[in-house]
Amino acid sequence: MLHGYTQSGPLFHAKTKALEKSLQKAFPQVKLHYPTAPNRIHKADIPNFGNSKPSNDESKSNGVEDEPDAWGWWRRRDDSSVYLGMDDSFTFIAEVLKSEGPFDGIIGFSQGGAAAGMVASLLEPGRQEAFAAAEANGGRKYPESFLDDKGSWDGLIHPPLKFAVSYSGYGAGTHPLYKAFYEPKIQTPILNFLGSLDTIVEEKRSLFLVDACTDGRKEGRLIYHPGGHFVPSSQGQYVGALIGFIKDIIGGGSGSKEDSVENMDVPF
Protein backbone atom coordinates (compact mmCIF):
# COMPACT_ATOMS: atom_id res chain seq x y z
CA MET A 1 0.00 0.00 0.00
CA LEU A 2 1.87 3.08 -1.26
CA HIS A 3 0.78 6.42 0.19
CA GLY A 4 0.54 9.75 -1.58
CA TYR A 5 2.85 12.76 -1.58
CA THR A 6 3.27 14.36 1.89
CA GLN A 7 1.64 11.37 3.58
CA SER A 8 3.16 8.43 5.48
CA GLY A 9 2.45 4.74 5.82
CA PRO A 10 0.63 5.08 9.18
CA LEU A 11 -1.44 8.01 7.92
CA PHE A 12 -2.44 6.16 4.75
CA HIS A 13 -3.31 3.15 6.89
CA ALA A 14 -5.56 5.29 9.08
CA LYS A 15 -7.29 6.79 6.05
CA THR A 16 -7.95 3.40 4.43
CA LYS A 17 -9.10 1.39 7.46
CA ALA A 18 -12.51 0.82 5.91
CA LEU A 19 -10.93 -0.48 2.72
CA GLU A 20 -8.65 -2.78 4.70
CA LYS A 21 -11.60 -4.27 6.58
CA SER A 22 -13.46 -4.89 3.32
CA LEU A 23 -10.45 -6.61 1.78
CA GLN A 24 -9.92 -8.74 4.87
CA LYS A 25 -13.56 -9.78 4.79
CA ALA A 26 -13.37 -10.74 1.12
CA PHE A 27 -9.91 -12.31 1.42
CA PRO A 28 -9.48 -13.59 5.00
CA GLN A 29 -5.78 -14.37 4.48
CA VAL A 30 -4.86 -10.93 3.13
CA LYS A 31 -2.14 -8.95 4.84
CA LEU A 32 -1.52 -5.34 3.88
CA HIS A 33 1.80 -3.55 4.28
CA TYR A 34 2.04 0.24 4.63
CA PRO A 35 5.64 1.39 4.13
CA THR A 36 6.62 5.04 4.47
CA ALA A 37 8.54 6.55 1.56
CA PRO A 38 12.21 7.36 2.28
CA ASN A 39 12.22 10.98 1.04
CA ARG A 40 11.41 13.57 3.69
CA ILE A 41 9.22 16.37 2.35
CA HIS A 42 10.05 19.73 3.90
CA LYS A 43 7.75 22.69 4.40
CA ALA A 44 9.26 24.45 1.41
CA ASP A 45 8.28 21.50 -0.81
CA ILE A 46 4.59 21.70 0.14
CA PRO A 47 2.50 24.30 -1.72
CA ASN A 48 0.59 26.67 0.58
CA PHE A 49 1.97 24.98 3.69
CA GLY A 50 2.43 28.34 5.39
CA ASN A 51 -1.23 29.20 4.91
CA SER A 52 -2.21 26.65 7.55
CA LYS A 53 -1.25 28.16 10.89
CA PRO A 54 -1.35 26.14 14.13
CA SER A 55 -3.70 27.33 16.85
CA ASN A 56 -1.03 27.03 19.54
CA ASP A 57 2.73 26.73 19.95
CA GLU A 58 2.86 22.95 19.78
CA SER A 59 4.42 23.10 16.31
CA LYS A 60 7.52 24.83 17.66
CA SER A 61 10.50 23.31 19.38
CA ASN A 62 13.21 25.55 20.85
CA GLY A 63 11.91 28.40 18.76
CA VAL A 64 12.15 26.46 15.51
CA GLU A 65 9.10 25.04 13.77
CA ASP A 66 9.26 21.28 13.40
CA GLU A 67 9.16 19.76 9.95
CA PRO A 68 5.86 18.03 9.09
CA ASP A 69 5.59 14.25 9.13
CA ALA A 70 5.47 14.26 5.35
CA TRP A 71 7.16 11.86 2.93
CA GLY A 72 7.28 11.20 -0.77
CA TRP A 73 8.46 8.67 -3.31
CA TRP A 74 10.13 11.53 -5.18
CA ARG A 75 10.13 15.31 -5.52
CA ARG A 76 9.86 17.27 -8.73
CA ARG A 77 12.93 19.35 -9.57
CA ASP A 78 11.76 22.94 -9.83
CA ASP A 79 9.04 23.08 -12.48
CA SER A 80 10.61 20.41 -14.65
CA SER A 81 9.52 16.86 -15.36
CA VAL A 82 12.56 15.44 -13.58
CA TYR A 83 11.98 13.58 -10.33
CA LEU A 84 14.47 13.59 -7.47
CA GLY A 85 14.78 10.80 -4.91
CA MET A 86 13.42 8.08 -7.17
CA ASP A 87 16.52 5.90 -6.84
CA ASP A 88 16.27 5.95 -3.05
CA SER A 89 12.63 4.91 -3.27
CA PHE A 90 13.29 2.00 -5.61
CA THR A 91 16.08 0.80 -3.32
CA PHE A 92 13.72 1.05 -0.36
CA ILE A 93 10.85 -0.69 -2.17
CA ALA A 94 13.23 -3.44 -3.27
CA GLU A 95 14.10 -4.09 0.36
CA VAL A 96 10.41 -4.28 1.26
CA LEU A 97 9.81 -6.74 -1.59
CA LYS A 98 12.67 -8.94 -0.39
CA SER A 99 12.04 -8.77 3.34
CA GLU A 100 8.23 -8.81 3.47
CA GLY A 101 7.23 -10.39 0.15
CA PRO A 102 6.49 -12.00 -2.09
CA PHE A 103 3.36 -9.97 -2.78
CA ASP A 104 0.41 -10.68 -5.04
CA GLY A 105 -0.25 -7.06 -5.86
CA ILE A 106 0.35 -3.40 -5.12
CA ILE A 107 -2.09 -0.56 -4.41
CA GLY A 108 -1.18 3.11 -4.45
CA PHE A 109 -2.77 6.53 -4.08
CA SER A 110 -1.77 9.63 -6.07
CA GLN A 111 2.04 9.64 -6.23
CA GLY A 112 1.87 6.17 -4.71
CA GLY A 113 -0.41 5.16 -7.61
CA ALA A 114 2.21 6.38 -10.06
CA ALA A 115 4.87 4.44 -8.15
CA ALA A 116 2.67 1.32 -8.13
CA GLY A 117 2.51 1.39 -11.92
CA MET A 118 6.28 1.75 -12.12
CA VAL A 119 6.95 -1.14 -9.73
CA ALA A 120 4.56 -3.40 -11.67
CA SER A 121 6.39 -2.46 -14.85
CA LEU A 122 9.85 -3.10 -13.40
CA LEU A 123 8.97 -6.65 -12.43
CA GLU A 124 7.73 -7.67 -15.87
CA PRO A 125 9.70 -9.95 -18.23
CA GLY A 126 11.63 -8.02 -20.84
CA ARG A 127 11.59 -4.70 -18.98
CA GLN A 128 15.36 -4.76 -18.44
CA GLU A 129 15.89 -4.87 -22.19
CA ALA A 130 13.50 -1.92 -22.63
CA PHE A 131 15.50 0.12 -20.12
CA ALA A 132 18.78 -0.80 -21.80
CA ALA A 133 17.45 0.39 -25.17
CA ALA A 134 16.03 3.60 -23.71
CA GLU A 135 19.21 4.36 -21.77
CA ALA A 136 21.08 4.83 -25.05
CA ASN A 137 18.66 7.69 -25.82
CA GLY A 138 18.75 9.50 -22.49
CA GLY A 139 16.64 7.13 -20.42
CA ARG A 140 17.43 6.05 -16.88
CA LYS A 141 19.09 2.77 -15.99
CA TYR A 142 17.08 -0.17 -14.74
CA PRO A 143 17.28 -0.02 -10.91
CA GLU A 144 20.11 -2.25 -9.78
CA SER A 145 18.27 -2.82 -6.50
CA PHE A 146 15.71 -4.91 -8.40
CA LEU A 147 18.37 -7.23 -9.81
CA ASP A 148 19.50 -10.47 -8.21
CA ASP A 149 21.57 -12.85 -10.32
CA LYS A 150 21.03 -15.52 -7.67
CA GLY A 151 17.28 -15.08 -7.61
CA SER A 152 14.79 -17.53 -9.06
CA TRP A 153 12.74 -14.99 -11.02
CA ASP A 154 14.80 -14.38 -14.14
CA GLY A 155 17.43 -12.47 -12.24
CA LEU A 156 15.00 -10.25 -10.30
CA ILE A 157 14.33 -9.99 -6.59
CA HIS A 158 10.59 -10.66 -6.92
CA PRO A 159 8.24 -12.38 -9.36
CA PRO A 160 5.95 -10.29 -11.58
CA LEU A 161 2.98 -8.87 -9.70
CA LYS A 162 -0.41 -10.38 -10.41
CA PHE A 163 -2.14 -7.01 -10.31
CA ALA A 164 -1.84 -3.33 -9.40
CA VAL A 165 -4.38 -0.68 -8.40
CA SER A 166 -3.95 3.06 -8.79
CA TYR A 167 -6.20 5.59 -7.05
CA SER A 168 -5.81 9.08 -8.54
CA GLY A 169 -2.46 7.97 -9.91
CA TYR A 170 -0.67 9.13 -13.01
CA GLY A 171 2.11 8.40 -15.46
CA ALA A 172 5.47 10.14 -15.46
CA GLY A 173 4.82 11.51 -18.95
CA THR A 174 6.86 11.51 -22.12
CA HIS A 175 10.20 12.56 -20.62
CA PRO A 176 12.95 10.28 -22.03
CA LEU A 177 14.06 9.36 -18.50
CA TYR A 178 10.85 7.42 -17.89
CA LYS A 179 10.02 6.07 -21.33
CA ALA A 180 11.00 2.48 -20.51
CA PHE A 181 8.41 2.23 -17.74
CA TYR A 182 5.65 2.55 -20.33
CA GLU A 183 7.12 1.32 -23.62
CA PRO A 184 6.36 -1.45 -24.30
CA LYS A 185 3.01 -1.15 -22.56
CA ILE A 186 2.56 -2.51 -19.04
CA GLN A 187 1.22 -6.06 -19.18
CA THR A 188 0.32 -6.37 -15.49
CA PRO A 189 -3.46 -5.95 -14.97
CA ILE A 190 -3.95 -2.47 -13.47
CA LEU A 191 -7.20 -1.06 -12.15
CA ASN A 192 -7.31 2.75 -12.29
CA PHE A 193 -9.71 4.80 -10.15
CA LEU A 194 -10.12 8.47 -11.10
CA GLY A 195 -12.13 11.15 -9.31
CA SER A 196 -14.28 13.15 -11.70
CA LEU A 197 -13.80 16.20 -9.44
CA ASP A 198 -10.08 15.71 -8.84
CA THR A 199 -8.34 19.10 -8.95
CA ILE A 200 -4.95 17.83 -7.75
CA VAL A 201 -3.98 15.49 -10.59
CA GLU A 202 -5.02 16.47 -14.09
CA GLU A 203 -7.11 13.84 -15.84
CA LYS A 204 -4.73 13.72 -18.82
CA ARG A 205 -1.85 12.73 -16.51
CA SER A 206 -3.93 9.90 -15.08
CA LEU A 207 -5.03 8.79 -18.54
CA PHE A 208 -1.38 8.63 -19.57
CA LEU A 209 -0.99 5.74 -17.12
CA VAL A 210 -4.28 4.20 -18.25
CA ASP A 211 -3.17 4.23 -21.88
CA ALA A 212 0.27 2.89 -20.96
CA CYS A 213 -1.44 -0.34 -19.83
CA THR A 214 -2.24 -3.03 -22.38
CA ASP A 215 -5.82 -3.32 -21.10
CA GLY A 216 -6.09 0.18 -19.69
CA ARG A 217 -9.36 0.99 -21.45
CA LYS A 218 -10.82 -2.47 -21.03
CA GLU A 219 -14.19 -2.59 -19.30
CA GLY A 220 -13.65 -2.80 -15.57
CA ARG A 221 -10.08 -1.42 -15.64
CA LEU A 222 -10.93 2.30 -15.61
CA ILE A 223 -13.45 3.53 -13.05
CA TYR A 224 -14.54 7.10 -12.34
CA HIS A 225 -16.04 8.03 -8.99
CA PRO A 226 -17.98 11.30 -8.45
CA GLY A 227 -15.48 12.76 -6.01
CA GLY A 228 -12.12 14.44 -5.75
CA HIS A 229 -8.59 13.42 -4.83
CA PHE A 230 -9.16 10.57 -2.38
CA VAL A 231 -9.60 6.83 -2.06
CA PRO A 232 -13.34 5.94 -2.09
CA SER A 233 -12.82 3.33 0.60
CA SER A 234 -16.25 3.47 2.23
CA GLN A 235 -18.42 3.54 -0.89
CA GLY A 236 -19.72 0.06 -1.54
CA GLN A 237 -19.83 0.00 -5.31
CA TYR A 238 -16.22 1.12 -5.68
CA VAL A 239 -14.94 -1.23 -3.00
CA GLY A 240 -16.93 -3.97 -4.73
CA ALA A 241 -15.26 -3.10 -8.03
CA LEU A 242 -11.84 -3.48 -6.40
CA ILE A 243 -12.73 -6.82 -4.83
CA GLY A 244 -14.24 -8.06 -8.07
CA PHE A 245 -11.13 -7.06 -10.00
CA ILE A 246 -8.85 -8.94 -7.60
CA LYS A 247 -11.09 -12.01 -7.67
CA ASP A 248 -11.05 -11.99 -11.46
CA ILE A 249 -7.25 -11.88 -11.45
CA ILE A 250 -6.28 -14.24 -8.65
CA GLY A 251 -9.54 -16.01 -7.81
CA GLY A 252 -10.52 -17.00 -4.31
CA GLY A 253 -12.11 -14.79 -1.72
CA SER A 254 -15.10 -15.51 0.47
CA GLY A 255 -17.68 -14.27 -2.01
CA SER A 256 -19.50 -16.14 -4.73
CA LYS A 257 -19.06 -16.00 -8.47
CA GLU A 258 -21.97 -13.59 -8.65
CA ASP A 259 -19.76 -11.00 -6.90
CA SER A 260 -17.49 -10.74 -9.94
CA VAL A 261 -16.91 -7.27 -11.37
CA GLU A 262 -18.89 -7.97 -14.53
CA ASN A 263 -22.07 -8.45 -12.47
CA MET A 264 -21.73 -5.37 -10.27
CA ASP A 265 -23.62 -2.14 -10.67
CA VAL A 266 -20.56 0.03 -11.26
CA PRO A 267 -20.33 3.02 -13.65
CA PHE A 268 -17.42 1.83 -15.79
Helix (H) or strand (E) segment spanning residue 191: strand 190-195
CA distance 158 to 44: 36
Please give the radius of gyration of the chain, using alpha carbons only, rounded to the nearest integer: 19
Establish whether 248 is a catalytic residue: no
Neighbours of 32 (CB within 10 A): 13
Q: Indicate if 198 belongs to the active site.
A: yes
110 in active site: yes
Selection from 204, 201, 261 nearest residue 230 by Cα: 201
3-state secondary structure of 199: coil
Cα(6)–Cα(23) distance, integer angstroms: 25
From 3, 22, 198, 206, the catalytic residue = 198
Which residue in 8, 22, 89, 110 is the catalytic one?
Answer: 110
**Cα–Cα distance list, 21 to 5, 95, 138, 171, 240 (Å):** 24, 26, 44, 29, 13
Q: Which of 13, 45, 175, 229 is catalytic?
A: 229
Residue 72 pairs in a beta bridge with: 39
Q: Are 124 and 131 in contact (CB under 8 A)?
A: no
Residue 42 is given by DSSP the state P
Return the active site residues.
110, 198, 229
